[in-house]
Amino acid sequence: MYGTSILHLTTLKDWSEADVLRTVERSIDIKRNPRHYSAALSGKTLALLFQKTSTRTRCAGEIGMTQLGGHALYLDWRNTNFGLADLGDEVRVLSSYADFIVARLMQHDDVLRAAEASTAPIMNGCCNRYHPLQGLTDLMTVHEALGRLEGVRLTYVGVLNNVANSLIAAGLKTGMHVTCICPEVNPAARDEALYSEASAAGLYEYGEEAEQLQDVLAQSDVVYTDTWIDMEFFTDPAFAEEKERRIALFQPFQINADLVQNLDLKILHCLPAHHGYEITGDMLHDPRSLIFTQAENRLHSQKAVLLQLANAPE
Ligand code: CP
Ligand code: NVA
């Protein structure tokens, strides 16, 4: 078996608390002192392999690598021979050229297969179950805004999905409490072992009713939402009926001015946002919104992840 001793980032669950906290601290330092890191990955290459679309994950990876003195290479799955061949074979070859790989694959099992075959660290760029690069950015953004993670109360509203799972895992590593008010769990994302572990640690609660929102949000430091429909299904005609069902079901869970009226909390969204669905457009520009800072932080955080995986010196 190849690469078994390599630190990958397939899910935050596999990272130690120290890895998570060091990455958050370093991401904040990178934002403050970018020039200090301008040659940190000189001569190294990051390959970015995408089965799905992306703005932030791709651009933060490519631009971040340039800013660290390295080089990045974007691979659209459809223009490679990944679709024709064994995933393990192709990843093994790619990892013999590249020093790091970001893989945005549909299925988490494929992310695991890629990590098993790779001789270079694999970062999960958002699969059906987890989005760890987003979770680390979210920790950075909360820490930057509130000065702490332990004891912070974050409420995630909408569908319990890949992003919510990574927030729960991020909370478990740092002492941040996550409440999910979600009428449904995305079937492919359900991770009962994670929910049980976080719940046993006193860091996770779950509710399904929109009527709970006011009370829960009154106790929250942060409210977070994400799309009701993952990107690969959003324009899929086969998903059209399910999309309409979800829009009707989730409407009472929309983040809007009425919901957060008079509440002293920060508003987060991983983006892309679907205005008028999970969030109204005005909320992105609300004084309490950190959404565009959070998006910018993808760049700083993704650079910190690369340095953590490279075991780069301080
Ligand atoms: N938040 C996020 O991962 O954005 P992209 O899908 O644009 O990469
Ligand atoms: N849950 C979203 C995350 C987007 C970054 C999706 O999978 O499309």
pLDDT digits 0-9 by tens, 17-28: 999 999 999 999
Q: Is there a single domain that holds both residue 223 and residue 260?
A: yes
The whole-angstrom separation of Cα 208 and Cα 190 is 15
User: What's the confidence (pLDDT) of residue 2?
Assistant: 45
Q: Name the helix (H) or strand (E) containing 132.
A: helix 132-146
**Residue range 212-238: mean pLDDT, rounded:** 97
- Name the residue at shortest CA distance from atom 7 of ligand 2: 230
Confidence (pTM): 0.97
Residue 278 pLDDT exceeds 80:
yes
Give yes or no: residues 105 and 148 share one domain: no
Domain carrying residue 37? 12-130+298-310
* pLDDT band of 3, cuts 50, 70, 90: very low
Atom of ligand 2 nearest to the CA of 186: 1
Query: Are 22 and 143 in a shared domain?
Result: no
CA distance 122 to 92: 11
- The answer for 135, left when phi > 0, alpha when psi is -120 to 50, beta otherwise, is alpha
Q: 21 and 64: one domain?
A: yes
Q: For ligand 2, atom 1, name the residue with the nearest CA.
A: 230
Give the number of domains in the chain. Answer: 2
DSSP assignment of 105-123: -S-HHHHHHHHHH-SS-EE
* pLDDT, mean over the chain: 97
Q: What is the pLDDT of residues 286-305, one digit of tens each?
A: 999 999 999 999 999 999 99
| Mean pLDDT, rounded, for 241-263 | 98
Nearest residue (by CA) to ligand 1, atom 6, is 54
Mean pLDDT of 35-53: 98
Are both 123 and 183 inside the same structural domain? no
Instruction: Find the 230 Cα to ligand 2 centroid distance in Å.
Output: 5
Nearest CA to ligand 1 atom 2: 56
Task: Check residue 312 and give its pLDDT.
Answer: 64
Same domain membership, residue 97 and residue 26: yes
Q: What is the CATH number of the domain that holds 223?
A: 3.40.50.1370
* pLDDT score, position 5: 81
Residues 252 and 158 in one domain: yes
Q: Is the pLDDT of residue 1 over 60?
A: no
Q: pLDDT tens digits, residue range 119-167?
A: 999 999 999 999 999 999 999 999 999 999 999 999 999 999 999 999 9
pLDDT band for position 314 (50/70/90)? low
Q: Please indicate, yes or no, whether residues 140 and 192 belong to a single structural domain of this protein.
A: yes
**Ligand in nearest proximity to the CA of 294:** 1
239 and 191 in a common domain = yes
Q: Which residues line ligand 1 (CB under 6 A)?
A: 54-57, 126, 134, 270-272
- From 256, 250, 253, select the one nearest 285 (Cα to Cα): 256
Question: What's the mean pLDDT in 56-84?
Answer: 98
Residues 204 and 289 in one domain: yes
